[in-house]
């Protein structure tokens, strides 16, 4: 391998090692604080609930420790051992050209999914089930995976052919054209997903008429938000976790409540959670996220352009097949971007604080404080995370920090 290849492998190992260290810190911090409910929560969360949340966090942290170690090792093995035999296998059956490159990526992706399947099974049917969260049956789990594979093939295969075709016909500008096309597709998916894809996995029913819907519609009018409907999603058939979100773009926007959220929260709490989600829209966070996505996607395509120009596959002693170059970048990019996650997580947490402020202005602080406390209790979220772990991985600020902001004048 060349020095460039060794540097990429070293970056993957460094990223994995950092992830393991942060998980160790998280476990140590949660364990050290598991017997004492943080100040301000003693009346809302019992010692038993706090210890149970710590136990869940520690169990999930141990699981993520194992998965991080496995993923890091697998990435290194792919780049240093397995990609050569994979190419040889595909080359025996597929002639040189677009189809060979597509077949390489598809076979790599299928192998990755298969190797990670045991982790998904354990997480769903052991870890989540042991804490009372999982409600999915093995048949439902299997059907979800089959649907996911079918959708990935339906969308992914044409995209791969289009990508490699652009690479051939536009040798100097394929990366700009590909970036623009992908951005159009990603924006279009915000409209397509809620109406065509999400219903393949869950049932969405209109929110029934009643006082809650009347109050929600009044809040929407107050915020100047027009939606394509209010829906309840049957999340409880898979998990007891609760949430709410809005999705779509333009006139296709719709608001979705998990049925578990409606079951476990008061109308005032539901309105405050909705006001928080509306805050993301009113404060321009949707546009900001699209802009951030455009920047990071642009940088990703720039890296791809450099990889093809630099003959990256050759640096690993591999054939100069575009499919191999794409696999190398896909394998290395995630771990490398992990090193930048404090920045992206900071942007997300800042938006969450701002949305909390909007909810406070629309519905008052107390309903949001009550809702956050209840969500933390019901979802077994730790109230004592390690600050460096949170810096990297928390897209939402820790609940105590959010409540402290809501209580501030």
- Please identify every residue annotated as catalytic: 277, 356
For residue 203, report the phi and psi dihedrals to the nearest 5 degrees.
-100, 130
**Distance, CA of 316 to CA of 312 (rounded, Å):** 7
For residue 57, report the phi and psi dihedrals to the nearest 5 degrees.
-65, -40
Would strands 254-258 and 244-247 be described as parallel, antiparallel, or unpaired? antiparallel
Query: Is residue 291 within 8 Å of residue 351, measured between CB atoms?
Result: no
Query: CA distances (Å), 371 to each of 20, 115, 216, 399, 403, in order?
Result: 32, 38, 16, 10, 10
Radius of gyration of the chain (CA): 23
Q: Which two tokens stand for residue 78?
A: 């792919």
Query: Is residue 55 within 8 Å of residue 132, measured between CB atoms?
Result: no
SS3 247: strand
Count of CB atoms within 10 A of residue 287's CB? 10
What are the CB-based long-range contacts (under 8 Å, 24+) for 152-161?
A: 152/109, 153/106, 156/106, 156/109, 157/102, 157/106, 159/185, 160/101, 160/102, 160/105, 160/106, 161/98, 161/102
Q: Which two tokens stand for residue 272?
A: 């405050």
Query: Is residue 119 within 8 Å of residue 60, measured between CB atoms?
Result: no
């Amino acid at each position: 391998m060349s020095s460039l290849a060794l540097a990429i492998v070293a970056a993957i190992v460094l990223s994995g090692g950092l992830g393991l260290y942060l998980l160790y810190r998280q476990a140590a911090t949660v364990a050290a604080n598991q017997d004492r409910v943080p100040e301000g929560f003693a009346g809302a969360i019992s010692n038993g609930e706090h210890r149970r949340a710590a136990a869940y966090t520690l169990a999930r942290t141990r699981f993520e420790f194992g998965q991080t170690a496995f993923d890091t090792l697998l990435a290194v093995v792919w780049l240093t051992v397995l990609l050569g035999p994979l190419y040889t296998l595909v080359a025996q059956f597929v002639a040189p050209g677009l189809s060979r490159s597509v077949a390489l990526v598809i076979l790599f992706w299928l192998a990755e999914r298969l190797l990670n399947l045991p982790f998904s099974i354990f997480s769903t049917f052991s870890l989540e089930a042991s804490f009372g969260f999982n409600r999915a049956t093995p048949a439902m789990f299997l059907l979800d995976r089959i649907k996911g594979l079918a959708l990935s093939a339906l969308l992914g295969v044409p995209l791969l052919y289009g990508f490699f075709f652009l690479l051939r016909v536009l040798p100097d500008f394929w990366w700009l054209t590909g970036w623009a096309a992908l951005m159009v597709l990603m924006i279009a998916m915000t409209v397509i997903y809620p109406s065509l894809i999400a219903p393949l996995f869950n049932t969405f029913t209109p929110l029934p008429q009643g006082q809650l819907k009347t109050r929600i519609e009044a809040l929407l009018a107050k915020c100047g938000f027009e939606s394509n409907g209010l829906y309840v999603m049957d999340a409880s058939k898979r998990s007891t976790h609760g949430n709410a979100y809005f999705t779509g773009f333009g006139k296709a926007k719709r608001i979705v409540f998990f049925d578990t959220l409606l079951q476990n929260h008061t109308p005032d709490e539901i309105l405050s959670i909705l006001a928080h989600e509306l805050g993301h829209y009113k404060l321009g966070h949707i546009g900001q996220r699209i802009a951030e996505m455009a920047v990071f996607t642009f940088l990703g395509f720039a890296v791809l352009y450099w990889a093809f120009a630099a003959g990256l596959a050759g640096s690993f002693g591999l054939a100069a097949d575009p499919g191999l170059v794409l696999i190398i970048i896909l394998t290395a990019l995630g771990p490398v971007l992990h090193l930048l996650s404090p920045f992206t997580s900071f942007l997300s947490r800042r938006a969450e604080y701002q949305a909390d402020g909007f909810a406070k202005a629309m519905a008052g602080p107390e309903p949001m404080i009550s809702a956050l406390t209840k969500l933390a209790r019901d979802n077994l979220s730790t109230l004592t995370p390690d600050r460096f772990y949170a810096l990297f991985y928390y897209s939402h600020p820790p609940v105590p920090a959010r409540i402290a902001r809501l209580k501030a004048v």
